[in-house]
């Protein structure tokens, strides 16, 4: 049964759209279970009815016409109980109801299981048989497993616009697609799909203006891979068993045969570019081999997949991505990297849509820093079909519209005009201090990382840089930058803000920030080799960076150095020793460097319970609420499945911050917050009430937070904090804060979109 289940899921995942997928489900399940009927009923969320969406065995004319209220019939009972119903004589059950147009009155045996996604019943999967009998435990388990496997795909379709949400091309209609807010704002533009090297699944369809050139590129790739396979086979001859050597013969037959190559060429001649045509052909062959009953032949699907990757890598190597970046580009990808993002000219990028990630993944943080609206965690969307399509990205509500209707476009254009008016109004605050109506001064610093951040941060009148992410120059190169390069980059940042303070955080890679030339593969990267752990293990990298920082500060004196991901005292002492060594070496070389103030990021729970010892070793601390929240709540902030559990207004987070801030203030050391919470109007109010007067955030958030600070008295902030600390859920805290902002006339700062 496991092999059967695997083949069905593979086939469904390759379906063109929801209707095609449901047709596959009912046909394959009926075959696997040897039943007379298999049907899928989906819950129409808007109408509140179960609708027969696909069937094998009932009258096909009834599809889309049969509708049941949630309290009606056995289907409604399955949904109501959210558990299987297994009956040998369904027609004798008091909830039995049949529709004459289906012809189901002659079927007695009934097994229905709920299709559930994240606690929500999306529909019911039903099998029926004419003979009266109970389905056995194995059959019930198979159908339940089938429903669970399919729930994600069906949920995506539901969120894409209800039961009729997918067109034949698999794209949602105008009701929009729910996602996770990544960066605030609204954007209207056209999709530019980016994908990782050799990721066939992510290759978009794209019309080619020059089929002959695409054909030549593909044939060159085929020839290059043939030669590569032959060389590999020759080098391993005699070193591996004969049966393993046959694998290379299989590869060469695939590349020499007319089927795979010929079908790809036909698709190119029909107008698709070479990578898109290759993806279509490989998908077809993988499905064909996966469906074969013979285990040996079924396993050949992996060979087809490997050949496809090799051909794609060669195409990418030979041609690269030569697309022109049009105005109003919305960058779309399964998982967008920092290097892909910064390659797009800022004046042409208006929005970001990522299938993976959450509101606090690295690309979302970067989008906020750039002031680009973004949505994350969109789900299993066929992004290969989005190239060039018009999109609307709502970074407030976390919503995406694909090929939106004129009405929706008009409404969002109105929202964009309102946003522009708000931005113009906020600009008037640029030169005014962030002081509450009752006289409490708050300093607002910028989080930076890109050269483009420097200008935007100065334009909004920040008090300095509370966090400069030094990893970006590392991420966009194909090697580690040298000392001279780093010194030049850091000097540019320090000079731009002198004499205001600038906090340079040492290299913080790992987790969701890999380097392409220094790959790190781990089961759990967020609990692995990242931040200070990595740089201490590579002192040659760390010392080069520290020397670059100290050299950049010569004659300026506004440098602050901060170490990330500190979890024990030894890390601080070792990092300090390397910093002192870098200073001593440079002084010995005749450079007039000085020791800057040194701080640590508090983002690991262990640091909360060593605060007093840490504070004796450093000059200041900065709280990274993104990671601290992630670790306190045990929620991977890049995982959309648990994205709703991530909330920095969680009572546990607020109480941990209260304890932390009391301890730091008791030691008389400066404390700031540089996580996303600082740039959230609601979070900023609570942090100020807790006693944090230094907040660091993206440039796009500074004037919004300044508006809040200048509008809400400190006394009222403390009253809100007292109420928040007594609450039991994040939703209660957020509702309290949003109501307070609305009452103060600041609701437009946290607008929820359409």
Judge whether 674 counts as a catalytic residue.
yes
Dihedral pair phi/psi, residue 44, rounded to 5°: -75, 105
What are the structure tokens assigned to 730, written together?
């994040």
3-class SS string, 123-187: EEEEEEECCCCCCCHHHHHHHHHHHHHHHHHHHHHHHCCCCCCECCCCCECCCCEECEEEECCEE
Q: How far apart are CA 164 and CA 67, in angstroms?
A: 14
What is the C-alpha separation between 717 and 71, in angstroms, rounded?
48
Contact 703, 426 (CB under 8 A): yes
Reduce the DSSP state of residue 411 to 3 states and report it: helix
Give the contacts of 447 (CB within 8 A, at least 6 positions apart). 369, 453, 465, 466, 467, 468, 469, 674, 679, 696, 697, 698, 699
Contact 712, 744 (CB under 8 A): yes
CA dist., res. 277 & res. 285, Å (int): 13
For residues 242 and 612, give the distance between their C-alpha atoms in angstroms, rounded to a whole number. 66
Look at strands 177-178 and 502-505 and give their pairing. unpaired
Alpha-helical runs (H) found in 635-729: 651-666, 676-679, 681-690, 699-711, 714-724
Stretch (H or E) spanning 42: strand 37-44
Query: Using CA atoms, how far apart are residues 595 and 560, in angstroms rounded to an integer?
Result: 9
Q: How many helices (H) and strands (E) does the chain have?
A: 27, 22
To the nearest 10 degrees (0 to 180), the angle between helices 681-690 and 714-724 is: 90
Question: Which residue out of 156, 362, 468, 650 is catalytically annotated?
Answer: 362
- Of 257, 247, 400, which is closest to residue 332 (Cα–Cα)? 400
- 71 within 8 A of 80, measured Cβ to Cβ: yes
CA-closest candidate to residue 434, choices 710, 691, 744: 710
Alpha-carbon distance of 715 to 352, in angstroms, equals 39
Token match 């941990």: residue?
656
Residue labelled with tokens 């970001």: 352
Buried b (16+ CB within 10 A) or exposed e, 603-637: bbeebbebbeebbeebebbbbbbbbbbbbbbebbb
423 contacts 748 by C-beta, under 8 angstroms: no
User: Which among 101, 100, 93, 103 is positioned nearest to 72, based on CA atoms?
Assistant: 93
Distance CA 171, CA 157 (A): 9
Helix locations, 404-531, DSSP H: 406-427, 451-459, 472-475, 483-497
Please report the beta strands in 520-579, taking only residues with DSSP state E, as ranges in sequence order: 559-563
Q: Side by side, which strands form the sheet with 49-56?
A: 67-68, 49-56, 37-44, 120-129, 109-117, 85-87
SS3 content of the chain, % helix, strand, coil (to 5): 50, 15, 35
Residue 462 annotated in active site: no
Phi then psi for 138, rounded to 5 degrees?
-65, -40
Query: Which residues are known to be catalytic?
Result: 362, 674
């Amino acid at each position: 049964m496991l092999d059967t289940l695997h083949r069905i899921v593979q086939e469904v995942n390759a379906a063109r759209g929801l209707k095609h997928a449901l047709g596959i489900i009912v046909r394959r399940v009926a075959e696997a279970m040897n039943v007379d009927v298999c049907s899928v009923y989906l819950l129409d969320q808007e109408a509140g009815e179960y609708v027969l969406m696909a069937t094998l065995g009932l009258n096909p004319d009834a599809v889309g016409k049969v509708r049941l209220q949630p309290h009606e019939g056995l289907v409604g009972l399955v949904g109501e109980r959210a558990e299987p119903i297994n009956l040998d004589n369904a027609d004798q059950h008091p909830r039995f109801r049949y529709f004459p147009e289906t012809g189901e009155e002659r079927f007695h045996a009934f097994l229905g299981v709920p299709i559930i996604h994240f606690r929500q019943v999306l529909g019911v999967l039903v099998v029926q048989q004419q003979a009266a009998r109970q389905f056995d435990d194995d059959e019930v388990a198979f159908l339940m497993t089938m429903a669970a496997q399919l729930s994600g795909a069906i949920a995506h379709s539901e969120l894409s616009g209800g039961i009729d949400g997918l067109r034949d091309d698999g794209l949602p209609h105008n009701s929009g697609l729910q996602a996770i807010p990544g960066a605030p704002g609204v954007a209207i533009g056209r999709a530019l799909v980016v994908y990782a090297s050799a990721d066939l699944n992510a290759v978009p369809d794209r019309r080619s203006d020059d089929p002959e050139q695409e054909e030549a590129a593909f044939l060159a790739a085929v020839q290059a891979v043939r030669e590569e396979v032959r060389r590999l086979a020759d080098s391993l001859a005699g070193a591996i068993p004969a049966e393993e050597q046959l694998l290379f013969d299989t590869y060469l037959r695939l590349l020499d045969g007319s089927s795979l190559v010929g079908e790809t060429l036909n698709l190119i001649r029909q107008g698709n570019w070479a990578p898109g045509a290759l993806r279509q052909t490989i998908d077809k062959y993988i499905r064909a081999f996966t469906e074969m009953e013979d285990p040996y032949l079924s396993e050949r699907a992996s060979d087809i997949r490997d050949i496809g990757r090799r051909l794609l890598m060669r195409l990418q190597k030979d041609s690269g991505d030569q697309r022109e970046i049009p105005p109003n580009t919305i960058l779309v990808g399964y998982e967008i990297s920092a290097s892909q993002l910064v390659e797009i000219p800022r004046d042409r990028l208006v929005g970001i849509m990522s299938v993976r990630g959450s509101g606090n993944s690295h690309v979302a943080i970067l989008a906020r820093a750039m002031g680009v609206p973004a949505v994350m965690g969109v789900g299993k969307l066929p992004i290969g079909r989005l190239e060039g399509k018009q999109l609307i990205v709502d970074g407030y509500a976390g919503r995406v519209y694909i090929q939106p209707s004129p009405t929706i476009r008009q409404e969002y254009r109105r929202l964009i005009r309102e946003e522009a008016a708000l931005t113009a109004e906020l600009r008037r605050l640029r030169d005014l201090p962030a002081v509450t109506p009752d006289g409490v001064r708050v300093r607002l610093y910028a989080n930076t990382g890109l050269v483009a951040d420097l200008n935007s941060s100065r334009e909004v009148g920040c008090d300095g840089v509370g966090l400069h992410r030094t990893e970006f120059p590392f991420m966009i190169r194909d090697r580690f930058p040298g000392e001279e390069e780093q010194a030049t980059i850091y000097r540019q940042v320090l000079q731009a803000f002198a004499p205001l303070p600038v906090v340079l955080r040492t290299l913080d890679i790992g987790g969701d920030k890999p380097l392409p030339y220094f790959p790190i593969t781990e089961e759990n990267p967020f609990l692995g080799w990242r931040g200070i752990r990595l740089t201490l293990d590579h002192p040659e990298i760390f010392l080069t960076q520290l020397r670059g920082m100290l050299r950049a500060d010569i004659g300026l004196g506004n440098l602050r150095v901060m170490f990330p991901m500190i979890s024990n005292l030894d890390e601080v002492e070792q990092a300090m020793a390397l910093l002192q060594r870098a200073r001593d070496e440079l002084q010995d070389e005749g450079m007039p460097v000085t020791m800057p103030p040194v701080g640590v990021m508090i983002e690991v729970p262990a640091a909360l319970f060593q605060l007093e010892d840490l504070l004796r070793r450093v000059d200041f601390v900065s709280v990274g609420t993104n990671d601290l929240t992630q670790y306190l709540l045990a929620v991977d902030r890049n995982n959309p499945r648990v994205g709703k559990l991530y909330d920095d207004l969680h009572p546990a987070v607020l109480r941990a911050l209260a304890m932390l801030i009391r301890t730091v203030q008791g030691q008389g050391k400066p404390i700031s917050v540089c996580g996303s919470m600082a740039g959230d109007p609601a979070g900023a109010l609570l942090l100020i009430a807790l006693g944090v007067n230094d907040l660091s955030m993206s440039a796009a958030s500074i004037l919004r937070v300044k508006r809040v600070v200048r509008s809400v008295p400190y006394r009222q902030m403390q009253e809100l904090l007292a109420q928040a600390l007594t609450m039991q859920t994040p939703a209660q805290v957020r509702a309290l804060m949003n109501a307070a902002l609305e009452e103060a006339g600041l609701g437009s700062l946290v607008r929820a979109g359409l």
